[in-house]
Amino acid sequence: MEEVPEDQVFKYGVVGKGDAAGDGFRITSMVEKPKVEDAPSNLIISGRYILQPEIFSLIENQATGAGGEIQLTDSMLTMMDQQDFFGLKFEGTTYDCGDKVGFLSANVALGLSRDDISPQFKAALKEIANKYGGL
């Protein structure tokens, strides 16, 4: 889970934070892309899960939700009726790959982080940037 500014919660799945559990916390609710006033917190679901195999049958029978899409969060909510869910606040960098710039930024960060391709990738980025007027 990662904190975002409250005015940005509408872009993400958001969790309600319950009691502490070890290094994490109990998840009390999940809302996919809520209105700001309906968000249970500003902790977003960053897309990293360890789920039981029962989730697959729930997804298979899941009706469309937010955005007219089948939302994993909706199936997870159904599963919460049968078992506890826990979260852990993420320490590190995340990228919103549902956003065009976030997706591109993630790819650039990955390319720059790899010792085997970083020098060539930096050169390619400079060439592309110069072609389009520089940075």
pLDDT of residue 14: 92
Domains and CATH numbers, the chain: 2-93 (3.90.550.10), 95-135 (no CATH)
What is the per-residue pLDDT across 82-113, written as a single tens digit (0 to 9) for each?
999 999 988 888 888 888 999 999 999 999 99
CA distance 27 to 86: 5
Q: How do beta strands 13-21 and 43-44 pair?
A: antiparallel
DSSP string, 36-62: GGG-S-SEEP-S-----TTHHHHHHTP
Q: Please state the rounded mean pLDDT for residues 65-75.
A: 82
pLDDT of residue 130: 95
Does the pLDDT value for residue 52 go beyond 80? yes
Sign, CA dihedral 54-59-65-66, equals: positive
What is the per-residue pLDDT across 15-41, written as a single tens digit (0 to 9) for each?
999 999 988 999 999 988 899 999 999
CA distance 89 to 105: 22
Q: Say if pTM beats, i.e. exceeds, 0.85.
A: no
| Of 24-28, 48-52, 124-128, the least confident | 48-52
pLDDT of residue 18: 94
CA 2 to the chain's CA centroid = 8
Sheet holding 13-21, edge to edge: 2-3, 43-44, 13-21, 24-32, 86-87
Does the pLDDT value for residue 68 go beyond 80? yes
Does the pLDDT value for residue 55 go beyond 90? yes
pLDDT of residue 73: 83
pLDDT band at 54 (very low <50, low <70, confident <90, very high): very high
68: left (phi > 0), else alpha (psi -120 to 50), else beta?
A: left
The answer to whether the beta carbons of residues 79 and 51 sit under 8 Å apart is: yes
Q: What is the 3-state secondary structure (H, E, C) of 123-134?
A: HHHHHHHHHCCC
